Amino acid sequence: MSAGPADGVTRIPVAAAGSAPYDVVIGSGVLDEIGGVLAGCTRVLVVYAEAVAEAATRVEETLRDAGVGAVTLLALPEGEGAKTLDVAARCWDLLGELGVTRDDAVVGVGGGAVTDLAGFVAATWLRGLRVVQVPTSVVGIVDAAIGGKTGINTAAGKNLVGAFHQPAAVICDLDLLETLPDEEFRGGLAEIVKGGFIADPVILDLLEKDPTGRRHFRELAERKVAIKARVVSADAKESGLREILNYGHTLGHAIERLEGYRWRHGDAVSVGLVFAAELGRHAGRLDDAAADRHRELLARMGLPVTYDLAAWPALQNVMRIDKKTRGHRLRFVVLDGVGRPGILEGPDQELLDAAYAAVARGGAA
């Protein structure tokens, strides 16, 4: 991790095997960095969320100033509505109309759904275009835009269709968060909490001092990005170590699906983190204090920590078609202590039921 002494810009390198290394650029007023990444490019398609149309226009102006021949903007549906086959097909059709070649690029401006979609479209057009991600949400900055996991949702579940495709750069302009509603900002912090439990306890200490996450946000973001950069550099395609980044996500994704994606990703992950802690506790792998710390911290931050008991059968059905499942044997990331993630494969039904009952009750069994 390096910071420019004069400009206060932090550059965190990602060196994923099989892909060109790139930087995650973090700072205030760094949107212009995209010009240097794509200078001289012939055609660029900028896909964006309507709520950040002003940022997309600034990206367009920066690219034109950098000598890009033609820049086209395309607004996407809100939230997870962007991550559908129909929307991807719209993008492919437009790339065809524009005559986009492998020398051209796609830029995603928005939250995690937009960057997932932009990456997937870039990965699949001509078997791979450059993509630059400009995340405008907390989840996008600290997680979704980094690491090359791209995808769309289907009726069967979230992110089941996708590709690994590393970006050419990730530009995180913290000024773009200034107008983010409190509930959106708070929901995104769940991904930062995850990073604290799997790898960096200092994150937990900072959030316990300031549960809003705003006072130390830049340090929190840099620490979480550094975790993901290290993991992705060591395991680009989730063949081993990278699986730890799924902590809390197996149940979290199932909740999102059951809620028709009306729940924020971070809210669902928050409940998933509590469930994962209870799995670790009931499996005898995580001590009570560390398990309780999950629920206590997330609740202080205003994030949900319980879910409906009656939903348990349906949640299990969804989890069994999760990407992390192997031969219908459920796999969960659990902790053997703070900063010590591991895998729990094929837990018996009694253990699963006990862990979920604790989540549904809002307390340990």
Per-residue pLDDT at 3 exceeds 50 = no
Domain count, the chain: 2
Q: How confident is the model at residue 7 (pLDDT cuts 50, 70, 90)?
A: low
Cβ contact 291:364 at 8 Å: yes
Cβ contact 45:95 at 8 Å: yes
Distance set, CA 260 to CA 148, 155, 245, 307 (Å): 25, 10, 23, 15
Task: Output the domain CATH number for residue 299.
Answer: 1.20.1090.10
Cβ contact 124:172 at 8 Å: no
Distance set, CA 58 to CA 48, 100, 200, 348 (Å): 12, 22, 35, 53
Higher pLDDT pick, 329 / 86: 86
Choose the final residue of a domain: 177, 196, 214.
177
Q: Using the 8-state DSSP alphabet, how is residue 140 labeled?
A: I
Higher pLDDT pick, 363 / 174: 174
pTM: 0.93
Lowest-pLDDT range of 80-94, 191-205, 228-242: 228-242
Closest CA to 75 of 112, 109, 47, 114: 47
* 111-160 pLDDT per residue, tens: 999 999 999 999 999 999 999 999 999 999 999 999 999 999 998 888 99
Q: Examine the domain organization and report whether 318 and 243 are in the same domain.
A: yes
Sign of CA dihedral 203, 204, 206, 212: positive
Choose the final residue of a domain: 177, 210, 229.
177
Q: Examine the domain organization and report whether 108 and 234 are in the same domain.
A: no
Q: Examine the domain organization and report whether 143 and 275 are in the same domain.
A: no
Mean pLDDT over 287-307 rounds to 98
Q: Examine the domain organization and report whether 155 and 201 are in the same domain.
A: no
Concatenated DSSP letters for 110-124?
A: ESHHHHHHHHHHHHH
Higher pLDDT pick, 259 / 5: 259
Distance of CA 248 to the CA centre of its chain: 12
The CA-based dihedral angle spanning residues 278, 282, 288, 291, taken in that order and rounded to the nearest 10 degrees: -20
Q: Examine the domain organization and report whether 203 and 343 are in the same domain.
A: yes
Per-residue pLDDT at 5 exceeds 70 = no
The reported pLDDT for the residue numbered 179 is 86
Distance set, CA 312 to CA 163, 251, 308 (Å): 30, 10, 7
Rounded CA gap, 308 and 216, in Å? 33
Q: Which residues pair with 76 in a beta bridge?
A: 49
Q: Examine the domain organization and report whether 304 and 245 are in the same domain.
A: yes
Task: Output the domain CATH number for residue 72.
Answer: 3.40.50.1970
Q: Examine the domain organization and report whether 34 and 119 are in the same domain.
A: yes
Higher pLDDT pick, 2 / 284: 284
Q: In the chain, what percentage of residues exceed pLDDT 70? A: 95
Q: Examine the domain organization and report whether 165 and 225 are in the same domain.
A: no
Cβ contact 76:108 at 8 Å: no
Q: Examine the domain organization and report whether 140 and 221 are in the same domain.
A: no
Q: Examine the domain organization and report whether 214 and 341 are in the same domain.
A: yes
Q: How confident is the model at residue 2 (pLDDT cuts 50, 70, 90)?
A: very low
Backbone torsions φ then ψ of 68, nearest 5 degrees: -70, 130
Distance of CA 92 to the CA centre of its chain: 23
Rounded CA gap, 106 and 115, in Å? 10
Mean pLDDT over 253-282 rounds to 96
Per-residue pLDDT at 224 exceeds 70 = yes
Q: How confident is the model at residue 361 (pLDDT cuts 50, 70, 90)?
A: confident
Choose the final residue of a domain: 177, 195, 225.
177
The reported pLDDT for the residue numbered 4 is 45
Residue-number span of the structural domain to which 275 is assigned: 182-361
Per-residue pLDDT at 8 exceeds 50 = yes
Q: Examine the domain organization and report whether 217 and 108 are in the same domain.
A: no
Q: Examine the domain organization and report whether 243 and 348 are in the same domain.
A: yes
